[in-house]
A and B are shown apart, each in its own frame.
Chain A
């Protein structure tokens, strides 16, 4: 990536919060409590870049992705998309900006309307945005996109149930790129696929990124996939950012104990390299009742007294390598 493109982030998320109320005040009780699914998340995304977002289930990575898209209205925070505050846009203006950001979902079975043909599904964004005047133009555009993602154009009038998981995910990709967006939020797009199909879809996504220049927010729980596809990686735990860094920096010079544990937990298809395993004890705490101080301290193998009392700040340890841990400086040495 050149330095010029570094200067202009296309997406700037600051202090994004999404709290889901689980107990509201009533006649009898004033007590209000929330699940803090996303709690003060900030990051920047540059043009043509892939930001990998990784974490265990329930860490808020999907909610974060959806809040950025305003598929869920965030509770608080700011999302600047190409310089405009996306969260305050309304009506026609919002719709226009939305055409520049698209979404891909995990479940290729549930994310396509079974009553629409492939052609209709891919054409829908074009119709909503009123890009073309005639049906013929829309059809031609859709056929072109189908070719780009490797779908046989003969399938134009077929229904989703006639396709395999990998092909459906190609349909999802076609729908996402039909408006030539600048940003695609991909929520676990390859998790439901077999490995041989997964690699086909990942290659396609990278090829499209190169030719069309869009940025991806790639949400996944699979660290190997994230490592392959991302330029930078953001690690989340219980709604908070633990570590953000350039891909190589993160994997080679891991600072946060949680990231270390995640990395060591991946089973490698390799019998030779013996790694030291860090096996975390216990389960993810409930996000309705997160631990005090550092949210990770209950499972952390390095935890000291301070960790349960004070929340560590996300600090820069050089080259944009951010980490939220009281003992990062020790890891660095």
Chain B
């Protein structure tokens, strides 16, 4: 049995909107192995960010609710925790890095104040200890002149530096799980390369497990050990990173990989996935991907396939079931 830091089972997060019920995350299950990186990939609106916010229990609002499932973190179900208990976990045991370093730092507090906040609350440090630790963290994420930066405000830093500060903040309490939600999407490629290298380095050093959420399969290939592909609120494929890139099983994964322009190919025309991601108020019958799938048959349009195991991997597609052959006959 693998040593899992977190086990998510049949997670359902729904939003009750004026336009109707939106099943943003609809029965998602996955595990993150201790010390490993799980990549979650999908296009906008597939539910990948909502999955991570559900783990942090940051969903509860007037419309949003976690309707079912379990999230077992270090043997305990996070969904049973009180808000007070959750506060002990957020930032300490599970930390999160968001996409936009601009908006996720508070503009009226200094970098130092923001990093030490978590240390003062969770680690019960004195101010001096917290400052020392904060500067140490800034050094670790390779911010030049950390002593000077400590007293600066977010607007005085560049985008890449702000993301480093976010990482420093997230790692300051030595969390067991780090959730990165599109951490490099807003950054330039040269800065993205720096940040990815940094995340990989820190993972090795601190043994933190990572959940990397991104739409960029290139980023996944760089950092992930395992990959989960999501489409319209459901997991469509789960496998090790090498397997996914070697031989994607699901037509959607295959399509995603095919439509990226690559440096080493000279195709005149890019492959495309026709159509677009269905909106939640007009979900197709059967498999959500069937209207865009080049292989779709009647069975796909009528019934939602289950996530089934094939060797070491999982895929949600009739192509790999007996029913597919029957349909052919």
**A70 is an interface residue with CB less than 8 A from chain B:** no
The interface bits of chain B over 271-308 (1 if a CB of A lies within 8 angstroms of the residue's CB, else 0) are 11110110000000000000000000000000000000
B218 is contacted by which of A56, A196, A261, A269 (Cβ under 8 Å)? A269
User: Is there contact, CB below 8 Å, between A194 and B245?
Assistant: no
Chain B binder among A88-96, A172-180, A275-283, A302-310 = A275-283
Q: Say how far B92's CB is from chain A's closest CB, in angstroms.
A: 30
Chain A binder among B47-55, B184-192, B319-327 = B184-192
User: Is there contact, CB below 8 Å, between B221 and A269?
Assistant: yes
User: Is there contact, CB below 8 Å, between A283 and B44?
Assistant: no
User: Is there contact, CB below 8 Å, between A166 and B259?
Assistant: no
**A57 is an interface residue with CB less than 8 A from chain B:** yes
Q: Say how far B56's CB is from chain A's closest CB, in angstroms.
A: 25
Chain B residues within an 8 Å CB radius of A224: 260-263
- The complex places the Cα of A273 from the Cα of B264 at a distance, in Å, of 11
- The complex places the Cα of A203 from the Cα of B256 at a distance, in Å, of 15
- The complex places the Cα of A266 from the Cα of B188 at a distance, in Å, of 10
Chain A binder among B68-76, B166-174, B193-201 = B193-201
Instruction: Tell me which residues from 250 to 275 in chain A have a Cβ below 8 Å from any Cβ of chain B.
Output: 251, 261-273
Residue ID in chain A nearest B257 by CB atoms: A269
Q: Assuming the A-B contacts A56-B190, A227-B263, A271-B241, are A195 and B256 also in contact, with contact meaning beta carbons closer than 8 angstroms in the complex?
A: yes
- The complex places the Cα of A281 from the Cα of B221 at a distance, in Å, of 22
Q: Assuming the A-B contacts A57-B188, A223-B189, are A166 and B245 also in contact, with contact meaning beta carbons closer than 8 angstroms in the complex?
A: no
User: Is there contact, CB below 8 Å, between B190 and A195?
Assistant: no
Residue ID in chain B nearest A210 by CB atoms: B268
User: Is there contact, CB below 8 Å, between A283 and B262?
Assistant: no
Among A166, A196, A261, A270, the most chain B Cβ lie within 10 Å of the Cβ of: A196
Residue ID in chain A nearest B196 by CB atoms: A267
**A208 is an interface residue with CB less than 8 A from chain B:** no
The interface bits of chain B over 226-247 (1 if a CB of A lies within 8 angstroms of the residue's CB, else 0) are 0000000000000001100110
User: Is there contact, CB below 8 Å, between B192 and A263?
Assistant: no
**B215 is an interface residue with CB less than 8 A from chain A:** yes
How many A-B contacts if CB must be within 8 Å? Answer: 118
Instruction: Tell me which residues from 149 to 207 in chain B have a Cβ below 8 Å from any Cβ of chain A.
Output: 158-161, 188-194, 196-197
**A139 is an interface residue with CB less than 8 A from chain B:** no
- The complex places the Cα of A281 from the Cα of B190 at a distance, in Å, of 9
Residue ID in chain B nearest A263 by CB atoms: B263
- The complex places the Cα of A268 from the Cα of B192 at a distance, in Å, of 13
Residue ID in chain A nearest B262 by CB atoms: A224
Q: Please classify how large the interface on chain A is, using the bins under 10, 10 to 19, 20 to 34, 35 or more.
A: 35 or more
**A164 is an interface residue with CB less than 8 A from chain B:** yes
**A141 is an interface residue with CB less than 8 A from chain B:** no
B270 is contacted by which of A199, A267, A268, A272 (Cβ under 8 Å)? A199
Q: Assuming the A-B contacts A194-B44, A269-B221, are A225 and B263 also in contact, with contact meaning beta carbons closer than 8 angstroms in the complex?
A: no
Chain B residues within an 8 Å CB radius of A229: 261
Residue ID in chain A nearest B158 by CB atoms: A283
- The complex places the Cα of A206 from the Cα of B260 at a distance, in Å, of 15
Chain A residues within an 8 Å CB radius of B257: 269
**A115 is an interface residue with CB less than 8 A from chain B:** no
**B27 is an interface residue with CB less than 8 A from chain A:** no
Residue ID in chain B nearest A194 by CB atoms: B43
- The complex places the Cα of A85 from the Cα of B161 at a distance, in Å, of 43
Q: Say how far B284's CB is from chain A's closest CB, in angstroms.
A: 16
Q: Assuming the A-B contacts A202-B270, A283-B158, are A269 and B263 also in contact, with contact meaning beta carbons closer than 8 angstroms in the complex?
A: no
Instruction: Tell me which residues from 166 to 198 in chain A have a Cβ below 8 Å from any Cβ of chain B.
Output: 166, 194-198
- 13 new A-B contacts, CB < 8 A, other than A266-B189, A271-B221, are A194-B215, A195-B217, A199-B271, A199-B272, A206-B268, A227-B263, A228-B267, A265-B192, A267-B192, A267-B193, A269-B217, A269-B220, A269-B257
Interchain residue pairs A-B with the least CB separation, the first 6: A267-B218, A228-B261, A199-B259, A265-B193, A269-B217, A196-B273
Residues of A within 8 A of B (CB): 56-57, 164, 166, 194-200, 202-203, 206, 221, 223-225, 227-229, 251, 261-273, 277, 279-284
Some 20 contacts from A to B, beta carbons below 8 A apart, are A194-B43, A196-B272, A199-B259, A202-B261, A221-B188, A221-B189, A228-B261, A251-B263, A267-B196, A268-B263, A269-B218, A269-B245, A271-B241, A271-B246, A272-B245, A273-B264, A279-B194, A281-B194, A283-B161, A284-B158
